[in-house]
Structure 1
Amino acid sequence: MSELKYLQGYPESLVDQVRNLIAKQQLKPFLLKKYPCCHDIKTEKALYDFVQELKSDYLKKSAPISKVVYDKKIHAVDHALGQHAFVSRIQGSKLKAKHEIRISSIFREAPLPFLRMIAVHELAHLREKEHNKAFYNTLEKKL
Structure 2
Amino acid sequence: MNYLQYFQHYPSSLQAQIEALLEPSKLANYFKNKYPQGHQLQHTQALYDYCHVYKNKYLKNVPRLHKVHYAKGRDLMTGTLGHHSQTRKQHGGKVKTRYEIVLSQLVKHAPEAVLRALVVHELAHFKELDHNKAFYQLCCHMEPDYHQLELDLRLFIVLDKLGSNFYQSPAQQL
| Cα shift at 1:34 | 1.5
Give unpaired runs (5+ residues) of structure 2: 144-174
Richer in strand (by share): 1
1:51 aligns with 2:55: no
Change (3 A) 1:91 1:16: farther
Larger helix share, 1 or 2: 2
Percent of pairs identical after alignment?
34
For the Cα contact (< 8 Å) 1:74–1:82, is it kept in 2?
no
**Aligned-CA RMSD value:** 2.5
The answer to whether the 8 Å contact 2:76/2:83 transfers is no
Partners of 1:74 and 1:123 lie apart in 2 by 21
- Aligned residue for 1:18? 18
Q: Which residue of 1 aligns with 2:113?
A: 113
Cα 1:16–1:118 shift into 2, 3 Å: farther
Residues 76 and 67 (structure 1 numbering): CA distance in 2 closer, same or farther, change over 3 Å? closer
Show structure 1 runs of 5+ residues with no match.
Answer: none
- The 10-residue stretch of structure 1 (14-23 or 100-109) with the greater mean CA deviation from structure 2: 14-23
Secondary structure of 1:127's partner?
Answer: coil
Task: Indicate the residue corresponding to 2:129 in structure 1.
Answer: 129
User: Runs (4+) of structure 1 moved beyond 3 Å?
Assistant: 11-17
Q: TM-score, normalised by structure 2?
A: 0.69
Matched ranges for 1:1-143 at <5 A: 1=2, 2-4=4-6, 12=11, 16-22=16-22, 26-75=26-75, 78-143=78-143
Aligned length: 140
Alpha-carbon distance change, 106 to 142 in structure 1, aligned in 2, over 3 angstroms = closer
For residues 23 and 41 of structure 1, do their structure 2 counterparts lie closer, same or farther at Cα, with a shift above 3 Å needed? closer
Q: Distance in 1 between matches of 2:25 and 2:135?
A: 32
Q: Are residues 74 and 58 of structure 1, via their aligned partners in 2, closer, same or farther at CA, if it must alter by over 3 Å?
A: farther
Between the aligned partners of 2:36 and 2:94, the Cα distance in structure 1 is: 49
Work out whether residues 70 and 108 of structure 1, in 8 Å CA contact, stay in contact via their aligned partners in 2.
yes
